[in-house]
Structure 1
Amino acid sequence: MRTRVGDVEVHSVEHGSGRPVLVLHGGGVDHREAEACFEPALAGVPGLRRVYPDLPGTGRTPAPATLRSADDVVGVLLAFADAVAGSARYLLAGHSAGGYLALGMAARRPERVAGLALVCPLLTGVRDVPAHRVVTGTGTLGDDGFRGYFVVQTPGMLDRYERFVAPAAALVDHPALERIGERWELAPDPGQAYPGPVLVVAGRLDSTVGSAAATDLAGRHPHATLAVLDDAGHALPHEQPDLLRALLTEWLARAARAR
């Protein structure tokens, strides 16, 4: 599906019908990773319309020169959300950089967001980031991208990397992402308290963003559930799918009660 938002044509895929759930992927990949990781949990809950966009500069969504900061990207995503959700309040989830953008969306328009789920979110104030460490496997499988991303390095995880992560590399607009990345911090700071149901999930072994900043973030939200998962790194959605599914299911139940 393609949705025109100003001078950006946002590509997305969607499944199901009902309340919209927007799921934002991380940097350097496209909708396929988020779809592979979140769809097994979301598809089991009736009445959800799951929407997975390609962020600007990735997948099939271009990033024109008018996009020069993360704030510009959030503006595009808010307009995209309005276009696909209409007047309905929507649920919002994100992994890594997608989590930071989702946080910015909720900060700008909290009245439109029915619930917020952040998995290994990129945040300002990242600290105490551990060194990368393999917990399962010999550390010899796959390429450098796989070995630097996953802490669970099994043939099954390599298969997921080769199917859902690596293919996006050829579609990344690197100059555009570098341009936007020069102004990646959102203004105002999106760490302010969002009043709705929040889920924050972090990997204890996340050598990209760590877990300390995510713990700080959860403490600033009045209705947040925090889970720091052992034996999981930045690729937590792949490495701990059963725990992620349970946490998302509980988050959706809280959002339904809040409704």
Structure 2
Amino acid sequence: MEIRVGEVPVHYVEHGTGRPVLVLHGAGVDHREAEACFEPAFEGVAGLRRIYPDLPGMGRTPAPETLRSADDVLDTLLAFADEVTDGAAHLLVGHSAGAYFAQAMAARRPAEVAGLALVCPLLPGLRDVPEHRLVAGSGEIGDEVFRSYFVVRTPEMLERYERYVAPAAALVDESALERIGQRWALTAGFAPAYPGPTVVVAGRLDSTVGYAAAADLVDRSPNASLTVVDGAGHALPHERPELLRALLVEWLGRVEHSS
């Protein structure tokens, strides 16, 4: 499916009916990774319309020259949300860079967001990022990208990487991401913090963004819960799917209670 937002035709897929849930993937991949990780987490939960867009410059969503900063991408995603939700209160879920944009969208328009879920979020002020290390499996399987992403390197994780992560590499517009990345800091920041039901999930061994900055969110967000998962890295949605599902189901319960 596709919705044109200004000059950007945003490609997306969706499943189910009910309250819209926008799920935003990280950098260098496309909707297929988010879909593979979060569809099982939402399995059996009725009344949710899960929407998985390709972010600009990735998957089948182009990034024209007019997109020159993270602010431009944020504006595109906000306009996409307006179109695809038709103004209905919706949920926002993001992994990595997707969480960076999801948090900003919620801060910009809190009245339109019923709940926010941030998984291994990219944030300003990253610190205390741990060294990457193997937790389980073999250090010899997979390519360098797989080994730098996963701390659990089993044949099952390699199969997921080769099926849902690696195919997106050929679709990435590297020049566009480099152009946007030169102005990756959002000028509006995240103030005021989103006040609604929030869940933050971080991998203790996340060597991409760490977990310390994610832990800071709890002090700023009045209705946020935080889980730091041992034995998981930046690929936490692949490595700990059962725990991720439990945390998201608990969060959905809080969303329902607050509605």
1:127 counterpart residue number? 127
1:190 aligns with 2:190: yes
Q: Please list the CA deviations of residues 86-141 of structure 1 after superposition, one character each: whole Å capped at 9, or x if unmatched.
A: 12100000000000000111111111111000000000000000000101012101
Matched AA of 2:69: S
Aligned partner of 1:234: which letter?
H
1:227 partner letter:
T
CA distance in 1, matches of 2:67, 2:30: 18
Change (3 A) 1:46 1:39: same
SS at match of 1:164: helix
Match of 1:161 in 2: 161
1:199-210 counterparts in 2 under 5 A?
Answer: 199-210=199-210
2:232 aligned with 1:236, yes or no? no
Q: CA deviation at 1:41?
A: 1.3
**1:42 CA displacement:** 1.4
Partner SS, residue 148 of structure 1: helix
Deviation at 1:33, TM superposition (A): 0.3
* Aligned counterparts of 1:191 and 1:97: Cα–Cα separation in 2: 18
| Stretches of 4+ aligned residues off by more than 3 angstroms | none
- Number of equivalenced pairs: 259
Match of 2:94 in 1: 94
Q: For residue 239 of structure 1, report the CA deviation from its aligned partner.
A: 0.3
Instruction: Calculate percent identity across the aligned residue pairs.
Output: 71
Query: Which residue of structure 1 lines up, in the alignment, with residue 143 of structure 2?
Result: 143
Residue 137 of structure 2 aligns to a residue whose secondary structure is: coil
Greater shift in the superposed pair: 186-195 or 74-83: 186-195
Instruction: State the Cα distance separating 1:191 from its structure 2 match.
Output: 5.4
Distance 2:144 2:5 in 1: 36
AA partner of residue 161 (structure 2): Y
The corresponding residue for 1:220 is 220
Whether 1:4 and 2:4 are equivalent positions in the alignment is: yes
RMSD: 0.7
How far, CA to CA, are the matches of 1:192 and 1:213 in structure 2?
17
Distance, in Å, in 1 between the alignment partners of 2:150 and 2:191 is: 27
Q: C-alpha offsets along residues 235-257 of structure 1, whole Å, 9 cap, x if unaligned?
A: 00000000000000011111111
How many Å separate the matches in 1 of 2:168 and 2:132?
23
TM-score normalised by structure 1 residue count? 0.99
Q: What does residue 44 of structure 1 align with?
A: 44
The answer for unaligned runs of 5 or more in structure 2 is: none
Counterpart of 1:107, as a letter, is A
Structure 2 residue identity aligned to 1:153: R
2: CA distance, partners of 1:182 / 1:95: 21
CA distance in 2, matches of 1:204, 1:87: 37
- State the partner residue of 2:115: 115
